[in-house]
Amino acid sequence: MADAAPPSKSRDLDKLLLRPGNLVGPTFDPGVQLRDDLQEYARVLVVGAGGLGCELLKDLALSGFKNLEVIDMDRIEVTNLNRQFLFRLEDVGKPKAEVAAKRVMERVSGVNIVPHFCRIEDKDIEFYNDFNIIALGLDSIEARSYINAVACSFLEYDSDDNPREETMKPMVDGGTEGFKGHARVIVPGVTPCFECTIWLFPPQVKFPLCTLAETPRNAAHCIEYAHLIKWDEVHSGQAFDPDNPDHMKWVYDEAVKRAELFGIPGVTYSLTQGVVKNIIPAIASTNAIISAACTLETLKIASGCSKTLSNYLTYNGVEGLHTKVTEFVKDKDCLVCGPGVLIELDTAVTLKKFIDMLEEDPKVLMTKASITYHGKNLYMQAPPVLEEMTRSNLELPLYDLMDKTPKDVLHATGTINKDDKKSSGLRKLRVVFKGIDGVTDMDMAGGA
């Protein structure tokens, strides 16, 4: 029998948390203690403070989560104001994460939101391990892939290659595309991770270079000409960074010149961002619907008040309204959420040699790798102060740096080269040293 509860401001939330039910999770224990524990101990990280991220912060705060953090690297632009409702005209130019956190705390009493104005790659892996759940409100496949790899890196397997429940880092991922959207639950080791279902995301539209160079017919062609052709001509050897405002402004200016030359209207700064980053305009109502679904799933995971989504919800509001839930299956050979990529080494292999090997390994293909072991930095490519501090480890045997452990897991963070495309990524590596007592033939067999 649920214990009696004093009146609460969260009346509707209490109906879920204070009463038993028939569709609850196996660990659900209704009562005031559950509600209080949820507010005091549950920590949720919201990744992204754009259209969907603003909705997520608001919904989570109103759903009883008092300890929230948000990370976003962007600043507020005028074009954000039509759908990112936490921002005002006077906020233009300010960091999204900081303003969003401030606005929600002003409206929802008792909630504490810590903003982080930086790239997701700027935080070390252990930062993400401090949270019970990670909620994603991103518009980038690359960013989703990175956070997915980080969350899956915490997953550990037992000797029978079964995932250990206490090491699972649940994620709730939302995404919108105009009047369409999705919400999904990712429990590493149980449900498919992002990489298992990467095929769900269509490839980015690419224009023939001859069209861009000779016969542009629309504004997008002019933008891609400046982005793909003109940039390399002028900035030989310098990589284009889509997150650098100066780089984006240069592409916009060149695209305007190109459009004027061919009499093509429609080149705007927001369109330039959309074409270069493959961003599809967001609709406020779609963001609200998908955020509500994601918040409910976050509450289910944290409290057990109901069974979670299994495991991918799609929403289509183009003509009428259609929703559907599909249960996708985990890829047992996934390189990200599986036990890890197996790498066999001699005990004499140095850390530098190991890093070089990652560039050639067909399952890793990682350059400029930083290596961590049980939270300890063995070698860091950046920032310069950490690189200098860990540089001396490069010439030491990896076996010694791993405390002469016959087999264990390392984490490598760097640039992954896949299908002629470079992106930041993280890989879990199962290192086995050959010729050491305790290493069986089974350890040496198989791959991921």
- 193 catalytic residue (yes or no): no
Expressed in percent and rounded to 5, the helix, strand and coil fractions of the chain are 40, 20, 40
CB 349 within 8 A of CB 399: yes
Q: In this structure, what are the phi and psi dihedrals at residue 116, rounded to the nearest 5 degrees?
A: -130, 110
Marked catalytic residue, from 152, 193, 196, 210: 210
Taking alpha carbons only, the member of 415, 403, 438 closest to residue 364 is: 415
Long-range pairs of 264-271 with CB within 8 A, sequence gap ≥ 24: 264/216, 264/217, 264/218, 264/219, 264/221, 264/222, 265/219, 266/218, 266/219, 267/219, 267/222, 267/223, 268/219, 269/79, 270/77, 270/79, 271/219, 271/220, 271/223
CA atoms within 13 A on the CB side of 394: 14
The SS3 assignment for 145 reads: helix
Nearest partner of 51 among 283, 364, 245, judged by Cα: 283
For 396, phi then psi, to 5°, come to -90, 150
Q: Evaluate whether 197 touches 328 at the Cβ level (below 8 Å).
A: yes
On whether the CB atoms of residues 411 and 429 are closer than 8 A, the answer is yes
Active site residues: 210
